[in-house]
Amino acid sequence: MHYYGVYGLARMAGIAPRAARIIAYASQYVDDSVSREERMNPLGGRLESEVTAHHAGQIQNLDTVDQRKVWVPFHFLPGGRGDGLGECLVCEKDGPLAREMLSHHLEMAGAAPFDLELMGITAHVYADTFSHRGFSGVSSPLNAVDVSSIRVKRADPATKKYLKEKEKSFFRKYNPWTPLSDLWSDIKEVVGGTFAEGVTSALGHGAVLTYPDLPYLEWSFKYDYRNIGKRHHRANQQDFLEGCEKLYHFFCQVSDRLKGRKQRHVDFDKKGETIKEILAPQTGTAERIKLWTTAIASGQLFRPARMDRELPEYDHQRWDNERDGFRAQRDPQNIIRKSVFRFYQAASLHRHYVLREMLPKAGIILT
């Protein structure tokens, strides 16, 4: 979604192919800039990365300071509602703070050298509010779920098998402190208590695994410590489709600003059914990527240009290599023209704005 879907929506909004690629790449790269890296140039330049995510097994996830600087601003933008800090940090889809972020960052479109990278980061954060709603980016009892209450609806046999294997894989991969044993033989034993919450330290939506991120899934659950007894129903396809439409309208505003005038945009209502069909199949990531790329190249979403038909496969190594190549630059200043450096600029601005300006104005002090 963050790369192929964002690219398709940006192009529907009239953003040029080259610019749409940078926006889409930055959107996905938010999930892949996961470690603090420093590169020195012999001529004296120094390049330091901006961390915008951690893989779920990284020990940094247990660091409450790191949670506030990474997960909150980039993946679980707070809704700002409720009593007390914990409730205010719960993510809300298209909430008032999310819309405030959109308005602020939109002013940078066409005005900052890193504007395209910032639009990509904005797209990622905003899209995540639709899938991550109801959870917060810090270890909190409000994220705790009665794991035995999780129910999946209308899943075909292949999907049920996939989900069970995904659950087993999740616990093997992200709980390195627990040795493999017969615990894995029966998935019901694995998720029957508070094990998932212990593994993830009640961070984000870890207690419900990757369920919020699967666009086709319809499921329900109960929290442990809030709304006791109430079952929360999620229709991910509906949330994703709504997120696509809202993101498309944001990109229309971006397109207008980049080109300095009002543009003609594809009518989303006429293409919504196609996007819905892309989100619906109970298949894996590779199959959904193919659906997106086919729709983009064949003209199902907009009139394609040559660059649309040649959309490269996403590979985070491209920007990683730009970062690593800094050491060999004959002129260190050349790095300012590289997308990875501009991504770091945009990420730094976004983090500062969210944590030091927007949230404090809403009475939320995190760092």
Looking at the domain assignment, is residue 263 inside a domain?
yes
Q: Alpha-carbon distance 351 to 75, whole Å?
A: 11
**Position 58 confidence tier, pLDDT thresholds 50, 70, 90:** very low
pLDDT digits (tens, 9 = 90+) for 140-183: 889 888 888 889 998 888 888 888 877 776 655 544 333 333 33
The domain of 53 spans: 4-138+237-361
Kindly state the average pLDDT of the residues 207-225.
89
Does the structure show a pLDDT above 70 at 343?
yes
Q: Residues 258, 355: one domain? A: yes
Residues facing residue 145 across a β-bridge: 223
Final residue belonging to a domain, choices 218, 235, 252: 235
Asked whether residue 265 falls in the same domain as residue 328, the answer is yes
pLDDT tens figures, 244-302 = 999 999 999 999 999 988 888 999 999 999 999 999 999 888 999 999 999 999 999 99
- The answer to which of 102-116, 146-160, 321-335, 348-362 has the lowest mean pLDDT is 146-160
- What is the CA 331 to chain-centroid distance, rounded? 34
What total number of domains does the chain contain?
Answer: 2
User: Would you say residue 351 lies in a domain?
Assistant: yes
Domain contains 277: yes
Is 367 a domain residue?
A: no
229 and 243 together in one domain: no
* Beta pairing, strands 218-223 & 232-235: antiparallel
Tens-digit pLDDT profile for residues 61-120:
455 778 899 999 999 999 999 999 999 999 999 999 999 999 999 999 999 999 999 999
Residues 122 and 9 in one domain: yes
Cα–Cα dist 73/63, whole Å: 15
Tell me, yes or no, whether 93 lies in a domain: yes
Residue identified by tokens 């980049």 is 258
Q: Based on the fold, state whether residues 130 and 255 are members of the same structural domain.
A: yes
Do 30 and 95 fall within a single domain?
A: yes
The pLDDT assigned to 196 comes to 45
Say if 44 falls within a structural domain: yes
Give the list of residues 6+ apart from residue 22 with CB closer than 8 angstroms, or none.
116, 117, 120, 339
Last residue of a domain, one of 173, 205, 235: 235
Between 279 and 225, the higher pLDDT residue: 279
Task: Let me know the angle formed at the C-alpha of 228 by 225 and 231, rounded to the nearest 5 degrees.
Answer: 115
Say yes or no: 230 and 265 in one domain.
no
What is the average pLDDT score of the chain? 87
**Distance in angstroms (rounded) separating the CA atoms of residues 266 and 293:** 18
Pair (216, 258) in one structural domain = no
Per-residue pLDDT at 56: 55
310 and 221 in a single domain? The answer is no
The crossing angle, in degrees rounded to 10, of helices 115-131 and 236-259 is: 160
Which of 207, 235, 263 is the last residue before a domain boundary? Answer: 235
Residue 366 resides in a domain: no
In a shared domain, residues 148 and 248: no
> Are residue 270 and residue 331 in the same domain, yes or no?
yes
Clarify whether residues 224 and 241 are in a common domain.
Answer: no
